[in-house]
Structure 1
Amino acid sequence: MQNFWTSSGYSQLQRTARGWLAPTDDYLRLFLSRPELALLPESCAAEHALHEALLASPSRPVAQTQLQALQDGDARESYSLFLRFRDGLLDAGTLEAYYLNLFRSGSITIPPLFIDLIAQAILRNVLDDAADAYEVRAGEMLFRRQRISTQDGQVLAGDRDVIDMLNETSGLGDFGRFLAEAKAPLRSIDMQVLTDENAHDYWQASNRHSFLLDLTHEVSKDLSHGLVFTMTRARSGLKALARVLEKWVQHLLGVAVSIKPLQKVDDAAWRWHVGLDVEATVLLNDLYEGKPVEPERMQRLLSLFRLDFANPQEMRADVAGKPVYLGLMMNAEGVLRLKPQNLLLNLPLAGSIQ
C-alpha cells in the first residue's frame, strides 16, 4: 500500500462504516487556505475577522451581514460560494452523498474546482489500497484535464495544467516567465512516460501530476507479405482507466461492472451508450442515429469501451443483459475533460438501484 495525492485532504476526512468520507473541520480548513480564499495585503478588516472566525470554527454559521461587510466584491462572491459548498456538504454528511446529490439535482451551483477537489478525495478513497501506479495515474484523468499527444500510433496523456506551465515557464515559475518574455534560452521540458522501470517514482511525485500515461492499447507490426500482427499491450493506460471506472461505479452506486477497451463497436443490437466526456457523448449519439461523422472528429476518438453488468437484474428491464458502450474523446484543441459523473447518471439502472 502506498500513500499518494497527499494534497487531496484524504487524511483530514473520516471514513464511515459504509466506507464513504465524512467531512471534518480540518478538511474545510484546506479550502480556506486555498488562494481563492486566502487573505491578501489589501483584505479589509471584516474579511480578516471572517477568515479568522472560520479558521477557528469552519462549520460556524455566517450571517448575511458578515458577507455584506466585505468591501471587495470578488471576496464576497468567493466566500458565498464556499459557504454554499460547505453547507451542502455538511447537510449531505459525506463527500460521496454530496457528489451524487449535486449532479442528480440538475443544478450545479458551485465552481468546477470544488467538484474536482471532491472527486479527487473520493478517488483517493476508492484507490486507497491500490498498489499499481498505472491505475492511480489513470485516476488523475477523472479530476484533472489531460492534453493528448498522438504520434506514430502512440497516444500519450499528460496533465494539461502542468504541460502548459512547462511550455510557458519551463518549470521555473515567475522567473521562467521572465526569461521567456526576454527570449532567453530555457532548459528543455522533461516529462516521463510512466513505465515499469520508473513506476516506483510515481508515488512521491503524485502531487506534481508530472507523469505521462501511455493510452496506446494495441500495437500493430507489419510482418511483410501483407501480414499484420496486432498485439494488445499488457500495460495499456486504457486498461488501467477501465479498472478505475469499475471501482468508481462500485463505490458510488454499489453496482459491479466490468469495463474493457474496444477498437470499434460491431453490434447490430447496440442499445445503450454513455460518453465519458462532452465530445464523446455527441459523437456516440451521432453514430447511434446513423448521422455522418467527419473524419477529423473520428480521429479525435481515443477509445471505446464495453461495460457489462455483473448482475443484469440491476439494469433496466428493456436493456437487461445488453452491453453498454462508452466513448472517450479529446476536443479539437487536443484536451480531454473526462466527466466521471456521466457514468453515475447515465447507466441504465433498475429503478430500485437509483
Structure 2
Amino acid sequence: MKNFWKNCGHSLLALDANGQMRVTDSFINSYLDRPEIIPVSESCESERTLHYELKKNPRKPVSASCISELKNPEGRENYRHLIDFRNRLIRLNTIEACYLNTFKNKGVDIPPVFLNEMVQIILRQVLNCSEDAMHLRAAEIFFREQQ
C-alpha cells in the first residue's frame, strides 16, 4: 500500500532494535512548525529567540522561567504544553513508552492533540503492511473526530 497518513510524523521516527519507534530530533522539530508554536508578527523577542534556539537544538532544556518571559499568555500555555510533552518524549525515548506512560498516572495530563497524534503514529506502524484501505479508514476512528 502507498504511504498513508504522511503528515503524522511516522516517517520522522527511527525504529530501534526492538521495533519501537524512537523519538528523533526531526520528530521533535516538527512540533515547532505547528501553527500554535511558530512565531507570528506579534510574537515578542523572547518567543522568537526560544523558537530559533529550539529549531537549532530541539532537546535544549527550557526552564519555566524562560517560558514565563513570553508576553502572550496563549503562547506561554502552548509552549508549556509542548515542552512538557517534548520532555516526556525525550525521557521515555519511544512513542510507545510515552503513550503507555500517559495512562499510568491518575488521569491524562497531556492535551488531546498530542494523545491523538501518538495514537495515529502507533496505528500507522501497526498497519504498515496492510493492503486493505478499509482497515486504514476504520483505524481513523481512534484519532479523528467523528461526525
- Deviation at 1:17? 1.9
Q: Distance in 1 between matches of 2:107 and 2:18?
A: 27
Gaps of at least 5 residues in structure 2 are none
Q: C-alpha separation between the residues in 2 aligned to 1:99 and 1:111?
A: 13
Q: Distance in 1 between matches of 2:74 and 2:81?
A: 11
Q: For CA contacts below 8 A with separation 6 or more, give which structure has more relative contact order.
A: 2
Question: What letter corresponds to residue 138 of structure 2 in structure 1?
Answer: A
Amino acid of the residue matched to residue 54 of structure 2?
A: L
Measure, in 2, the Cα distance between the counterparts of 1:108 and 1:54. Answer: 26
Q: CA deviation at 1:31?
A: 1.0
Q: Amino acid of the residue matched to residue 65 of structure 1?
A: S
Greater share of helix = 2
1:144 aligns with 2:144: yes
User: Percent identical across equivalent pairs?
Assistant: 39
1:135 aligned residue:
135
Q: Deviations over 1:22-43 (max 9, x none)?
A: 1111111111111111211100
- 2:64 maps to 1:64: yes
Question: How far 1:92 sits from its partner (Å)?
Answer: 1.1
Alignment pair present for 1:101 and 2:101: yes
Please provide the CA RMSD for this pair: 1.0
Match of 1:10 in 2: 10
Partner amino acid, structure 1, of 2:128 = D
Q: CA deviation at 1:110?
A: 1.3
- Structure 1 residue 101 displacement after superposition: 1.0
Residue matched to 1:37: 37
**8 Å contact 1:28–1:58 — kept in the other structure?**
yes
SS at match of 1:135: helix
Equivalent-residue separation in structure 2 for 1:112 and 1:38 (angstroms)? 19
Structure 1 SS opposite 2:103: helix
Report if aligned partners of 1:36, 1:78 keep a CA contact under 8 Å in 2. Answer: yes
Q: Alignment partner of 2:61: what SS?
A: coil
Q: Give the Cα separation in 2 of the matches to 1:83 and 1:89.
A: 10
Other structure's SS at 1:87 match: helix
Written as runs of structure 1 = structure 2, the 5 A alignment for 1:244-259 is none
d(CA) in 2 for partners of 1:109, 1:30:
21
Counterpart Cα distance in 2 of 1:17 and 1:2:
25
Q: Which residue of 1 aligns with 2:89?
A: 89
Q: Distance in 1 between the 2:74 and 2:67 partners?
A: 11
Displacement over 6 Å in runs of 4+: none
- Taking the aligned partners of 2:42 and 2:5, their CA distance within structure 1 comes to 32
The 5 Å alignment of 1:1-354 reads 1-147=1-147
What amino acid does structure 2 have at the position aligned with 1:127?
L
Within 1, Cα distance between the matches of 2:17 and 2:141?
28
One-letter amino acid matched to 2:134: Y
> Structure 1 stretches of 5 or more lacking a match?
148-354
Structure 2 Cα separation of the partners of residues 139 and 119 of structure 1 = 10
SS in 2 for 1:60: coil
1:268-290 CA distances to partner (integer Å, 9 max, x unpaired)? xxxxxxxxxxxxxxxxxxxxxxx
Q: Deviations over 1:80-116 (max 9, x none)?
A: 1101001111111110111011112223221101100
Counterpart contact for 1:2–1:130, Cα < 8 Å: no
Tell me by how many angstroms 1:64 deviates: 2.5
Aligned length: 147
Within 1, Cα distance between the matches of 2:104 and 2:53?
A: 33
For 1:64 and 1:105, how far apart are their aligned partners in 2? 22
Give the structure with higher Rg (CA). 1
